[in-house]
Structure 1
Amino acid sequence: MNSENFNYIITAIFTAIFGVFGIYHLASFLILRHKILLYYCILILALALHWSWFLLASGPLNDAIADKASIVSAMAVTYGLLLFTKNYLNIGKKNHPLLSRSYRIFKYTIVCIPILYFLNILTIKIDWLNDSLVMLAAITAMLSIFMNLFSGVRLYKEERFNKYYLYSYAPMLLAAIIYIVAWFLQKQYTVDVRFVLITTSSLITLQLILFSILVGYKFKSIENENIRTQVETNKILAIEVTRQTEKLQMAKEELENKNQELETVNSLKNKLFSLLTHDVKGPLNNIAALVEMIETHLEDGQLKEMSKKLKNKVDDRIAMVNALLEWSYSQLEGIEIKKTSCDIKKTFDSMAKEFERLIEDKELKLLFEISEPKLLIDENMFKIILRNLTSNAIKFSNEGQKIILSSRKVLEGIEIGVQDFGIGMNADWCDNLVNEEIPKTMLGTKGEQGTGFGLLITKDFVEMNDGKLICTSELNQGTKFTLRF
């Protein structure tokens, strides 16, 4: 077998070996998506390409093309080896800034050399520049090998598997030295190409096997590190969950204590309102009855006038207590609404009877306009609503005027109206009611006082019965409240 055939067979065998290694690690990268596999894949496939140039070259022309193209594959091998080493040894900007900068310079140099080489061939075609670039490529490849070796020594104890990188790097270093020395010598002397080819191919194959083992151990290390990190993270999370659970438990106990305090306060509030009802409202009613009895037995004069004023004062205080009690009732939690079919005429009649004396005092006319006789509503709340609105209408009406209580059916539902033609109110007063603020009280036409709670209670009770309170008013023209259900 002649030398050329021998070289062809050896090259074909090792090119196939490198190709198989490259395809295997490419598949591994596509599955695992780890950068170290990508860089290792670049290294192996570039080696396969570099070895295959001899297989493609036949004749002087193709031989020249292969010779020129080999600079690209050689730089690709160097580039892949640099990136593989940098990633394997965990060289980064933060932990090793100087080494990272050196690797960056080598990368840019490796990329630029083939570009400049082919630009020179395609444009200015300076022979000495081509030779210089080829020489620079060989020097860069050798320096990068020593750079990788230096990094392995420098970071020998940095991580557990770094020392294995140095041991496995020996075949690559030896093959590179033999290859580059033979490349230099063949320009001046006759070199046994077969020896160089077999030796470097065997060493690089051994190198690839060792690197593959290294990558496997590296992944095992990464997996163990991930497991360890996950275990530590789980411990931290467990501690945090326990701490948060304890906080929630404390917050729950505090909330339960607060709820118990609120229940106590609410119970006390209910007792207080009960006390107001029995111990305050009752005596006030008795005083009002006593004053009225005295007033009926007095002849006209200064004493009778004083008793009448006293009776008005007592009535105002009774109205204030009633309003406060009704408001407090609306604020109680758990209030139950019992809607029934309420007879509107009967309710209007009860209002007329309740306010009979006040209507007579002002010589007012209370008129009913009923076109819808029934309303589904909580009857007690309905009476409170009408009591407040009728009381206001009387308070702000002048002597001899009329007040209209009405009911009618409209498209939106049923409307209950309470309308007076008295002094009216300004827009700000209505806005305060809409904004759920307690309106500022106004004196009635005979100096009657109010608490301001009445309309607020009315609005709440209307809304609790799924209704809407609408107020239209104009100064000196009167006021109309419409309850739409």
Structure 2
Amino acid sequence: MDIFNYKHFTTILFTSIYGVFGIYHLLSYIVLRHKILLYYFILIIGLTLHYSLIFIHDASFSEQVKLMAYNVSPITAIITTFGLLMFTKSYFNISPINHRTLFSIYKVLILILAGLPVVYILNHFIIKLEWLRNILIITAAITALSTTFLCLFSGFRLYNSEKFNKYYLYSYTPYLLGSFLYIGAWFSQKYFNVDTDLVILLTSILVTFQLVLFSLLISYKYKSIEDNTIKIQVEANSKLTTEVEKQTKHLQIAKQDLEYQNEELEKVNKLKNKLFSLLTHDVRGPLNNVGTIIEMIESQLEESELKEITKKLKNEVTDRISMVNVLLDWSYNQLEGVSLDKKLCDLDTVFNSIKKEFERMANDKGIEIELAISCRELFIDENMLKVILRNLTSNAIKFSEKGQKIILSSKCTSDIVEIGVKDFGLGMNTDWQNTSKSNNAPTVREGTVGEKGTGFGLMITKDFVEMNGGTISCKSEINKGTEFILSFKTATNEQVAPKI
């Protein structure tokens, strides 16, 4: 094989090797997404293109093709230099935070390498100044040398900053020697017409060896990084496991404390239930008996000062009985485990029961209780309905003047049953629901003849209505009266037992 063919063979061989390396690192970048692999690909692809141009320049191509290769070769050299610069910067993790001055130098060289191809192309196609072309080529060569020295300096400067930095210098040595040999051969051939084929071959071998070393170095570095990452993750998981176990123990202790508190609370609730049960039977009953006895005494007395005193006493006892009833109804609503006993109620019976219950209280003020029953049945808890009507009727009597009347009504549509309690007395604030929520306490008012109240009546009424799936609304005008409207849906999925 003659020298010419041997030279062609070596050029094609090394170009192929560089191309394979470039494709390998491009695929590695696509998979791993490490920027250093992209920069290394740029370095290698620059070398591949540069050696391809050498082959074109030396082979039996036309003079026009050789001239084109000659003109393009500075750009491929700049691409290679740019790739080396970015690769080194990424490898050493040079940033304005940890290496400010070094980062600035790299930034200047990167700007020069980015600008040189632009100016070179503009000069080649537009300006066409030979002396400017020569200056740009020399500038590119000087920049390449500067980059080589900067990378070498970075290796020495950051030798001990990280574990794998020292290996960069060892791997960089072949490239450094190859760069000096290649640049020297280029100057010798250009200005002194010296045969540089052997130097180019040696440079190619050194660069190939350097590519192998750099590839191994990158592999080991990222393997080390992954090992450290796994180690950190294992340590973090271990700490997390310990913390979870610690928190789990705290939660178990807290759970035990909560269970103990729940047991104590259950005991207190049972005690509270017993207490209210005692109040219901041992307080409300005797008070009712006292009221009855006073009525009997009053009926036996003739008109006298003693009868007036007895009458006032009876009114006081009646007020207190009403207060106790409301408070016990309200406390019943607060008890845990209250369940509904809904059934189809006869509104005729319920309304007449309420009218009879408040007949004496109404007669004392000359008030008439009128019933207007259009709808005669409602699916509801009957006891709760009586509590609701009792509270509203009591309030209506309390805030009505003598000689007025109260209307208890019911009407229905296809899907709604409305219960109404209307008076023509003092009127009230229709925003009572929001007022009671914000104050967290009932509002106490006096009736038309000084009757006392607790203010709990409307609260328990609202709660019982909502427990039965209904809504309550209020219409009122001062000194013209008040009307409460309770709305309940007629539709229900519950089965009502047939009457026997």
Contact 2:189 2:195 in 1 (8 A): no
Structure-1-length-normalised TM-score = 0.93
Q: Could you tell me which amino acid in structure 1 is paired with residue 48 of structure 2?
A: A
Q: Does 1:56 align with 2:59?
A: no
Counterpart CA distance in 2 for 1:440 and 1:147 is: 86
The alpha-carbon deviation at position 389 of structure 1 amounts to 1.6
1:418 corresponding residue in structure 2: 421
Deviation at residue 433 of structure 1 after TM alignment: 6.5
Residue by residue, what CA displacement relative to the aligned partner does 1:266-302 show, whole Å, maximum 9, x if unpaired?
Answer: 3443344334334433442333233222212221011
5 Å-filtered alignment, 1:318-329, equals 318-329=321-332
Taking only the aligned residue pairs, the percentage that are identical comes to 54
Unpaired stretches in structure 1, ≥5 consecutive residues: none
Report if the CA contact (8 A) 1:7-1:197 is conserved. no
Contact 1:424–1:474 (Cα < 8 Å) also in 2: yes
What amino acid is the match of 2:49?
A: L
The code of the aligned residue for 1:150 comes to F
2:339 aligned residue: 336
What count of residue pairs does the alignment treat as equivalent?
485
Work out which of the residue numbers 181, 184, 187 in structure 2 matches 1:184: 187
Q: Write the letter of the residue equivalent to 1:48.
A: T
Match of 2:493 in 1: none
Contact kept, 8 Å, 2:284 with 2:324, in 1: the verdict is yes
What is the letter of the counterpart of residue 105 of structure 1?
V
- Verify the 8 A CA contact 1:6 1:194 in the aligned structure 2: no
For 1:49-100, what per-residue CA distance to the aligned partner results, in whole angstroms no more than 9, with x for missing partners?
0011133333433333222211111111111111222222332332222222
Partner of 1:106: 109
Query: What is the CA-CA distance between 1:361 and the residue it aligns to?
Result: 2.1
1:314 Cα deviation from its structure 2 partner: 0.9
1:295 aligns with 2:298: yes
Q: Residues 175 and 206 of structure 2 are in contact (CA less than 8 Å); yes or no, is this contact kept in structure 1?
A: yes
Q: Residues 283 and 414 (structure 1 numbering): CA distance in 2 closer, same or farther, change over 3 Å?
A: same
SS in 2 for 1:416: strand
After superposition, the Cα gap between the structure-2 partners of 1:448 and 1:333, relative to the gap in structure 1 and judged at 3 Å, is: same
Cα distance in structure 2, aligned partners of 1:426 and 1:196: 106
Mean Cα deviation higher: 368-377 or 430-439: 430-439
Amino acid at match of 2:11: T
Contact 1:352 1:366 survives alignment (8 Å): yes
Give the 5 Å matches for 1:424-435. Answer: 424-429=427-432, 432=435
How far apart in 2 are the matches of 1:431 and 1:59? 98
2:294 & 2:455 partners in 1: Cα distance?
Answer: 26
Partners in 1 of 2:148 and 2:199 — Cα distance?
19
* Displacement of 1:432: 3.8
1:216 aligned to 2:219?
Answer: yes
Cα 1:144/1:433, change in 2 over 3 Å: closer
Q: Does the aligned pair in 2 maintain the 1:113–1:137 contact within 8 Å?
A: yes
How far does residue 380 in structure 1 lie from its aligned partner after superposition?
0.8
Contact 1:164 1:214 in 2 (8 A): yes
| Counterpart for residue 15 of structure 1 | 15
1:421-472 C-alpha deviation (Å, 9 max, x unpaired): 3333344557646979655333323322221111221111111111112222
Q: Distance in 2 between matches of 1:374 and 1:441?
A: 34
Amino acid at match of 2:413: V
1-structure distance, mates of 2:28, 2:393: 89
Asked whether the 8 Å contact 2:189–2:196 carries over to 1, the reply is no
* 4+ aligned runs moved over 6 Å, structure 1: 433-437
The aligned counterpart of 1:42 is 42
Q: Which moved more, 1:117-126 or 1:170-179?
A: 117-126
Preserved CA contact (<8 Å) 1:438 1:456: no
Corresponding letter in the other structure for 1:88: Y
What is the CA deviation profile of residues 124-159 of structure 1, one whole-angstrom value per residue up to 9, with x for unaligned ones?
433333222212211211121121112122222222
Q: What is the rounded CA distance, in whole Å, between the counterparts of 1:5 and 1:431 in structure 2? A: 102
Tell me the equivalent position of 1:76. 79
Deviation at 1:41, TM superposition (A): 0.9
Which region of structure 1 is more displaced relative to structure 2, 147-156 or 469-478?
Answer: 469-478
State the shift of 1:305 in Å. Answer: 0.4
Which SS does the other structure have where 1:466 is aligned? coil
1:42-441 equivalences under 5 Å are: 42-57=42-57, 58-429=61-432, 432=435, 440-441=443-444
Task: Give deviations 1:169-190, integer Å, cap 9, x for gaps.
Answer: 2211111111111112223434
- Contact kept, 8 Å, 2:424 with 2:480, in 1: the verdict is yes
**Is the alpha carbon distance of 1:166 and 1:423 closer, same or farther for their aligned partners in structure 2, counting shifts above 3 Å?**
closer
When residues 457 and 160 of structure 1 are mapped into structure 2, their CA distance, relative to the original with a 3 A threshold, is: same
State the AA in 2 paired with 1:298.
L
Q: In the aligned structure 2, how far is the partner of 1:171 from the partner of 1:434?
A: 85
Does the 8 A contact of 2:329 with 2:460 survive in 1?
yes
Contact 2:430 2:474 in 1 (8 A): no
Aligned to 1:471, the other structure's residue is in SS state: strand
Of 433-442 and 123-132, deviating more is 433-442
Say which is worse superposed, 54-63 or 313-322, in terms of deviation. Answer: 54-63
Q: Which moved more, 1:52-61 or 1:104-113?
A: 52-61
2:375 alignment partner, SS class: coil
What secondary structure, in the 3-state scheme, does the structure 1 residue paired with 2:451 have?
A: coil
Instruction: Specify whether residues 255 and 15 from structure 1 end up closer, same or farther in structure 2 by C-alpha distance, changes over 3 A only.
Output: same
Q: Which amino acid is the alignment partner of residue 27 of structure 2?
A: A
- Give me the whole-angstrom Cα distance separating, in 2, the residues matched to 1:113 and 1:246: 67
| Deviation for aligned residue 1:166 | 1.6
SS at match of 1:368: strand
1:11 and 1:54 in contact (8 A); partners too: yes
CA contact (8 A) 1:3 1:194 kept: no
Could you tell which deviates more after superposition, 273-282 or 51-60? 273-282
Instruction: Verify the 8 A CA contact 2:160 2:166 in the aligned structure 1.
Output: yes
| CA root-mean-square deviation | 2.4
8 Å Cα contact 1:337-1:378 kept in structure 2: yes
